[in-house]
Amino acid sequence: AQTVTQSQPEMSVQEAETVTLSCTYDTSENNYYLFWYKQPPSRQMILVIRQEAYKQQNATENRFSVNFQKAAKSFSLKISDSQLGDTAMYFCAFSPNTGNQFYFGTGTSLTVIP
């Protein structure tokens, strides 16, 4: 069974500082994809970043980057230069390449403090 675990229900960070959100997953698949989605108070789910498991290089998107450790099954999200607009719920998600399903973690609520 595929599971995704986010062990930090809530986090906070000062504006302009850096914060790291943790995610671990469990799978027997070898080819899969990992995602971080952001859900601001508007409820809209927005893709932040994605990582292909076969790529060793960590994905980056502007201020967002990941630390992907395949052997440890860890996929953390680093947000640099945090902004007030980063305040949101963040969901880690896993999707095996062989299937059509996404498996989501329980989310981490991030608050950026001015």
Residue 43 interacts with other proteins (CB under 8 A)?
yes
Torsion angle of the four alpha carbons 66, 69, 72, 74, in this order, in degrees rounded to the nearest 10: 10
Of 14 and 30, which has the nearer Cβ to other proteins?
30
**Tokens coding 75:** 């996929």
Q: Supply angle C-alpha 103, 72, 78, rounded to 5.
A: 70
Of 26 and 81, which has the nearer Cβ to other proteins?
26
Residue 47 interacts with other proteins (CB under 8 A)?
yes
Residue 64 interacts with other proteins (CB under 8 A)?
no
Q: Which of 28, 41, 42, 85 binds other proteins (CB under 8 A)?
A: 42
State which of positions 14-33 bind other proteins (CB under 8 A). Answer: 32-33
Backbone angles phi, psi at 4, to 5 degrees: -130, 130
Stretch that binds other proteins, among 14-22, 69-77, 78-86, 99-107 (CB under 8 A): 99-107
CA atoms within 13 A on the CB side of 99: 11
Classify residue 86 by burial, with Cβ atoms within 10 Å: 0-12, 13-18, 19+.
buried
Residue 50 interacts with other proteins (CB under 8 A)?
yes
Q: Which residues form the interface with other proteins (CB under 8 A)?
A: 4, 6, 32-33, 35, 42-45, 47, 50, 52, 91, 93, 95-102, 104-107
